[in-house]
Amino acid sequence: MSNALPLGPGAEFDAIRSMLERWGPRASGVGDDAAVLGLPRGESLVASVDTAVENRHFVRGWLTTRELARRAVVAALSDLAAMAATPAGVLISLIVPDAWRDELLGLADGVGDAVRDAGTYIIGGNISAGDELSITTTVLGHVYVPLARSGAHVGDRLYVTGRLGGPADALFRLRDGRDAGPHRDRFARPVARIAEARWLAERGASAAIDISDGLAADARHVAAASGVRLVLDSPDIPCVSDVPAELALASGEEYELLVASPVALDAAEFEARFGIPLTPIGIVEHGSDVVVRGARVAAPSGHDHFSR
Amino acid sequence: MSNALPLGPGAEFDAIRSMLERWGPRASGVGDDAAVLGLPRGESLVASVDTAVENRHFVRGWLTTRELARRAVVAALSDLAAMAATPAGVLISLIVPDAWRDELLGLADGVGDAVRDAGTYIIGGNISAGDELSITTTVLGHVYVPLARSGAHVGDRLYVTGRLGGPADALFRLRDGRDAGPHRDRFARPVARIAEARWLAERGASAAIDISDGLAADARHVAAASGVRLVLDSPDIPCVSDVPAELALASGEEYELLVASPVALDAAEFEARFGIPLTPIGIVEHGSDVVVRGARVAAPSGHDHFSR
C-alpha cells in the first residue's frame, strides 16, 4: 500500500505525522483532501459512523488508552459486521483535549489494533483540539447482498454469537469502584464479528444487528424494522460465567450479533470455525416488539447514551 | 429515495427521528446498522472526514445555528470538490450538549442546506451527548480520475476560484466584538466548488486543494505533496473589496480552490458558467515551498486549529 503524502508544517500535521508513523503500512493514502479507493465490481458500498465521547461512553482510567481507542473503533466496525460487509477502510476524527495530548500514540495504537484485527486500513482522518476526548470512526465496507435489520420474517429462527453479559458485569464493577473482574477482557477487548457475519450470511441468515445497546433493546430494532415480533427464550441465552440472563439481556457494547435465519444454522461448524458459540435463542412471530419468555424480570430497555 | 426504517424507542432515537423528519427525502436509507449505496461502475470511491468543534472552529452567536451547521458540512464537502469528485452521500455525527438541545432542528436545517446545495443525501449519522457541540461530517463521493495535491508539475499555471479575504475580514470584525461587516455572506454561507472542480478537471487541471487554511498555507501542502515550488503573484490575488492581498493570503475557511494546470484555462468561460472569477495567480517552479512575489509582508502561515 502507498503510504502518506508529505504534509505541510504545523502542530496539527505534527500530530498526524506521529500517528501515521505509528500506523506504518496500516495507514494508506492519507494526506490528500480525501482518500481514494476502489471497490470490488458489482458490490455495494456500506458506510457507518460511530462516536465515543469521554464520560459518556467511557471513563478515563477504566481501561488503558490503547484499549479504549480500540473499543471505539471496534464499535464502528461492528456495524459493518452487522451488514455482513467486508471492511474497505476507516476514517478517524479525534477531538483531543490538552489533558490527553500525551496519549496520542496510545490512541493511535488502539486504532491500529482494531484496524489490523479487521484486516483493514486507516484511509483518512482529522484531529482537533477540544474540551473532551472523542473518537469518531467512519467505517467503509463492501458487500454483495447486505444483511439488513429489516430482513426478519415470521418463522425465522434467532441466533446469537458468543456469550453475553461480560461487558455489563465489568461495567457494574467499575462503576462500583472495584476492578473490572473476571470478564474484563470481554469489556476491554471486544471483537467485531466480521468473518462470522459473512459465514452466517453465506449460509442463509436474512437479518442481523450487532448488540451495542443490549440484546433486548437491539432485538426491538429488528422487530421494528422487520414489522415482526421477536420471541427470545431467556433460559437459552448464552451467558458468561456467574452472570444471569437478565443482566446479559441488558448488556450493551457486546458487539456480538443477533441474526434471524429461515434455515437452521450449523452451530457446531460455527463454533469449530470461530471458537465461539452460535446459540438458538428464539423465533420470529407475527406481531410487534420483543417478548422474553422465562425471564424473572421484564425485558430491560438497554442503554441510551442520549437520555437526559 | 427510500426513507428511514422504523427505529426503536429512546431519547437518542427521538432526536434522530426529529432530524429525519426535517430532512425528509434528503435523508436516505438511515436506520440500519450502516448505509448501503451503489457507485458508478469504474469510478473510485472518495472519502473524507472533517470536524467543527465549538469555540475552536466556531463561536456560538457569531452565526445562526443553521449557518454554522451548514458551514461545517460545506467544509467537508469542499474536500470532495478538491478531488473533483461527485458527492454520493454524507454521514453526520453530532455531539450535542444540553445547552444546544433546543437547537437540534436548526442544526438539522443547516446540514440539510449544505447537502441540498451539493445535490446529495444524508445516508447515516450518530448523535451523542457531550460537553461541547461538535459536528463531524464524513463525505463520500466518486470520481473517475481524482485531482490530487500531488499533481502539480514544473511549468504549470496556478489559478484560484472566487475572491478571497471575506472570511478573514468577517472573523476579524467578529473577534473584535463588531458585526461581521460587508463580507458576512462569504463567511456565513460558503459554497463547496463541486461543479467548478469537475469543470476544471475536465479542461486539464492536474492538481487541486481547497483553501481551508488560507491560500499561502494550502499552497504549501501542494508544494510538499508535488515536490515543487509554488510562486504566487501577490498583486494578482483576487480579493473582496477593501481587503488587502496580505489578509487574503491568510484567509482560511474560504472553500475556494487552488488548482494547477499544464494548459491555460478559459477564465471567461468559467466566470460565465459559474458567476465567480477564475484568476491566474502564479506558476509552478523547481524547488520547494511557496514564494509570494510582490507581497508587503512574509507569507503568512495560515490557521492551525491544533496549535497549543
Q: Are A293 and A231 a contacting pair, CB within 8 Å?
A: yes
Report the residue from B35, B56, B138 with minimal CB separation from A130: B56
Other Cβ atoms within 10 Å of A129 Cβ, number = 22
Q: What's the pLDDT at B33?
A: 79
DSSP A213: S
Residue A280, pLDDT > 90, answer: yes
Report the residue from B41, B47, B307 with minimal CB separation from A41: B41
Query: How many cross-chain Cβ pairs, A to B, lie less than 8 Å apart?
Result: 258
d(CA A57, nearest CA chain B) in Å: 9
d(CA B96, nearest CA chain A) in Å: 9
Q: Which residue has the cell 472570511?
A: B167
Report the residue from A41, A46, A128 with minimal CB separation from B56: A128
d(CA B185, nearest CA chain A) in Å: 25
Residue A155, pLDDT > 60, answer: yes
Q: Which of A7, A36, A258 to mutate to test the interface with B (most CBs of B within 10 A)?
A: A36
Q: What is the pLDDT of residues A167-212, one digit of tens each?
A: 999 999 999 999 999 999 999 999 999 999 999 999 999 999 999 9
Q: What span, in angstroms and rounded, lies between the C-alpha atoms of B166 and A53?
A: 34
Residue whose C-alpha is closest to residue B164's, from B148, B183, B177: B183
Q: What span, in angstroms and rounded, lies between the C-alpha atoms of A68 and A193?
A: 18
Q: What is the pLDDT of residues A212-232, one digit of tens each?
A: 999 999 999 999 999 999 999
Nearest CA in chain A to B33: A79
Mean pLDDT in chain A? Answer: 91
Percentage of residues of chain A with pLDDT beyond 90: 82
Residue whose C-alpha is closest to residue B120's, from B28, B257, B16, B21: B28
Counting as low any pLDDT under 50, the low residues of chain B are 1-5, 7, 304-305, 307-308
> Phi, psi (5° rounding) for residue B85?
-95, 155
Q: How far is CA A287 from CA A140, A284, A300, B49, in A?
A: 34, 9, 19, 41
Contact residues, chain B, for A210 at CB < 8 Å:
33
Contact residues, chain B, for A48 at CB < 8 Å:
33-35, 91, 124
Q: Which three cell numbers stand for residue B284?
A: 509552478
Q: What's the pLDDT at A300?
A: 53
- Indicate if ipTM > 0.85: yes
Report the residue from A93, A95, A301 with minimal CB separation from B49: A93
Contact A82 B34 (CB under 8 A): yes
DSSP B205: -
Give the total residue count for chain B: 308
CATH numbers and ranges of domains, chain A: 11-143 (3.30.1330.10), 149-293 (3.90.650.10)
Residue whose C-alpha is closest to residue B138's, from A146, A255, A128, A93: A93
Q: What's the pLDDT at A36?
A: 87
Q: Are B84 and A33 a contacting pair, CB within 8 Å?
A: no
Classify residue B202 by burial, with Cβ atoms within 10 Å: 0-12, 13-18, 19+.
exposed
Q: What's the pLDDT at B3?
A: 36
Other Cβ atoms within 10 Å of A198 Cβ, number = 17
Average pLDDT over residues A238-263: 94
Q: What span, in angstroms and rounded, lies between the C-alpha atoms of A296 and A269?
A: 32
Contact residues, chain A, for B301 at CB < 8 Å:
9-10
DSSP A173: H
Contact residues, chain B, for A36 at CB < 8 Å:
44-46, 83, 143, 146
Residue A236, pLDDT > 80, answer: yes
Q: Are B45 and A140 a contacting pair, CB within 8 Å?
A: yes
